[in-house]
Structure 1
């Protein structure tokens, strides 16, 4: 900042001139290409109606180091390319602006993005007129000395590029941290839920888990004392290297029984399929409902509230999950997605979609939902997925998958530990966008500070002297 102030003070006795962009930069529209002319992997990127290249072309019509504006579709988006590219007919660009650094122009247009977007014509295809860009007033330092002007612009660009790089680096580091924490959580979850397959339901009575009431409060696990030895991993500081868990011995807690029963899901409980409803049935105040799509986008391991309600007149045609049931989807985009489970811990029953099953059982519902996330369970589940365009769970085979059935107190203890990890991971996931947003606002602050030169004020009109 001091360097820029010094340059302006030394070389700009007349200060900074604000001038319409159209007077110093001649914007052109690109040339149309059709998809059949494009390659999908090699050549020069082709920008059409978004910041994602439409494809690649063997020729270029714009040099590297040029700013551009999308004129239709994602109209108002600002771009800058470090490589030669092809600008299609929905792109405005300025080949060689007179006395303006292209990167300086790019940062200026970013500063004006809100103003530009407000002038986009909102039709079936949003469009931006070139005149909107040309009418923008841009600050030109030392307008009478192009060399000094470009030197000052270059210094401003250097500062803003540094902020941009720091922001990108921080964003990458935050995302890497979140990924590492998720891997750490996955490691401990799989370790806690790994049991020796030494017996099955045929050699041990299966009455213990089934005798537990499904309505037992799901909050019970949280009441376990945090001082138990197995809960120690959750108390590790977030700054601990995420790679450490891999070096930890996968020893089981000392209190864990040596022998754990493994039972088929259909021996532990039963699956109840939901009934169809559509989003056209949604109302503002109706019957609580879980749509299978929301399980992927709105819910985690458990839920006690819903994001949708359906028409009360449908009450007798619906099927419901009871508190303590685990709701499982039977379709998904990938093998891992299909069969995603959420433990329903609400106070009342909830309607479920016909692409969902309510698994009614006597175990800790969170334990079941957590176990269905493990690597071992997903591998077993994959044997019973029909691999078409939309992956479908074959419920008859799925119901024969075996899961461990430790004593209820052990289920509760494990759930208490995993709840802490889940809370920590969710906290990081929610905090990441806020931190990134703060850094973007910091960049915008300095960008505006550097580019918002004072504008000359109009001189008052003096009254002619009275004779």
Structure 2
């Protein structure tokens, strides 16, 4: 029998008490639609916008940058100024486009935060903050369902605060945290090793691709505006309009989270009657995301090589052309093209690009026969890389699933009657 089993048998053999989250946590602000009785106390934290947060980044600093995304960093107390905070906190982003479990954070110490919603245990003699963090991570998919809106989504904090959390005796929590801390560290080490190997192979491929797509004066360079037969923004499609079956469509977030340099099928569907101004894309069209949480998001583009005609969302730009679509995708993924695409503008918490900015991107445009020759070479190289690396992403995913299964099992209790 493990130590954890012994503790459970000794301290809570008949189950544990479940609390509403608002009963055992303090948050950073009073939320709309949440009864005042559920928030008798708040702890406010001044926050910076994402671009401002990383503008004060300093590598040798000892103040953690609590971003709303996956990127993190450090700064100094001198740079943090009046935004310096201290505490033991769990954060979820106020606005997000990624799964919340990918961006939820725990931190204890000095920090500067972006626009997160921040929680802390109201009494660490009853509930540990690290236990709260692991439990909230385990509820990631459910918390995701509480986010609403089109584009950047925001959570219904009423639903979050009404979640029921099992709170076992403190020694049980401490043992769960110890186990999960160790398991997290081991999983992170293995994932880092596998990811480093995968990254090295991708860099090798990218170097070869960029070398093959480097031309001199013998090849004409054209802007996408010159290449375009037509270029336009898609229609407004909100998350609430997505259904399980209907007309295939793509929203901007899917470009940088689901698709690579090209794709052959859409993963979302909508009722065409729900879209007032219908804008479509079809085989060979190049799609660009022009809204995202970071410059990297809007630097992504891809070619559609599927057979079905699909609807384009409003924060997508569609480029119609007479070039080889795979060639354009390869050319638009080079470092030179990515540098041009990264010239987005930060407005509020979101990074934007535009049709004029996309039209201005310049790439080499050799004859169609040469385009096809390059595509054939890069397709073979891409296949070779995929054959070699298929096991690495699969292994990373398997390790993460193993960890999530084990974590969720540790955090599952029967309720005391």
TM-score range, shorter chain: 0.5 to 0.7
**1:277 & 1:378 partners in 2: Cα distance?**
26
Matched, 1:91 2:120: no
Equivalent residue for 1:124, pick from 156, 161, 165: 161
Task: Tell me, yes or no, if the aligned pair for 1:363 and 1:408 is still in contact at 8 Å.
Answer: yes
1:47 paired residue number? 88
Equivalent residue for 2:10, pick from 11, 20, 24: 20
1:183 paired residue number? 203
1:296 paired residue number? 256
**1:333 & 1:161 partners in 2: Cα distance?**
29
Deviation of 1:315 after TM superposition, in Å, equals 6.9
Instruction: Please give the secondary structure, in 1, of the residue aligned with 2:245.
Output: strand
List alignment gaps of at least 5 residues for structure 1.
1-15, 24-29, 58-72, 75-86, 96-105, 115-121, 140-156, 199-258, 449-467
List alignment gaps of at least 5 residues for structure 2.
1-5, 14-23, 27-40, 48-62, 65-76, 78-83, 92-104, 112-117, 139-158, 411-417
1:81 paired residue number? none
Task: Tell me, yes or no, if the aligned pair for 2:187 and 2:400 is still in contact at 8 Å.
Answer: no
Cα distance change, pair 36–395 in 1 and its aligned pair in 2 (3 A): closer
Deviations 1:419-453 (A, max 9, x none): 35545357356314235248759999xxx9xxxxx
Cα distance change, pair 164–47 in 1 and its aligned pair in 2 (3 A): closer
1:362 paired residue number? 322
Equivalent residue for 1:427, pick from 380, 390, 406: 390
Equivalent residues in 2 for 1:238-257, closer than 5 Å: none
2:334 paired residue number? 374
Aligned CA RMSD, in angstroms, stands at: 4.8
Matched, 1:388 2:347: yes
1:262 paired residue number? 221
Task: Tell me, yes or no, if the aligned pair for 1:48 and 1:91 is still in contact at 8 Å.
Answer: no
Aligned residues: 298
Equivalent residue for 2:306, pick from 323, 346, 355: 346
Matched, 1:193 2:226: no
Cα distance change, pair 310–413 in 1 and its aligned pair in 2 (3 A): same
**2:25 & 2:273 partners in 1: Cα distance?**
57
Deviation of 1:20 after TM superposition, in Å, equals 0.6
Instruction: Please give the secondary structure, in 2, of the residue aligned with 1:53.
Output: strand
Task: Tell me, yes or no, if the aligned pair for 2:194 and 2:392 is still in contact at 8 Å.
Answer: no
**2:290 & 2:210 partners in 1: Cα distance?**
23
Deviation of 1:272 after TM superposition, in Å, equals 2.7
Instruction: Please give the secondary structure, in 2, of the residue aligned with 1:414.
Output: helix
Cα distance change, pair 160–391 in 1 and its aligned pair in 2 (3 A): closer
Q: Name the larger-Rg structure.
A: 1
1:231 paired residue number? none
Cα distance change, pair 322–440 in 1 and its aligned pair in 2 (3 A): closer
Task: Tell me, yes or no, if the aligned pair for 2:7 and 2:171 is still in contact at 8 Å.
Answer: no
Alignment TM-score, normalising by the size of structure 1: 0.51
Higher relative contact order (CA 8 A, sep 6+): 2
1:133 paired residue number? 169
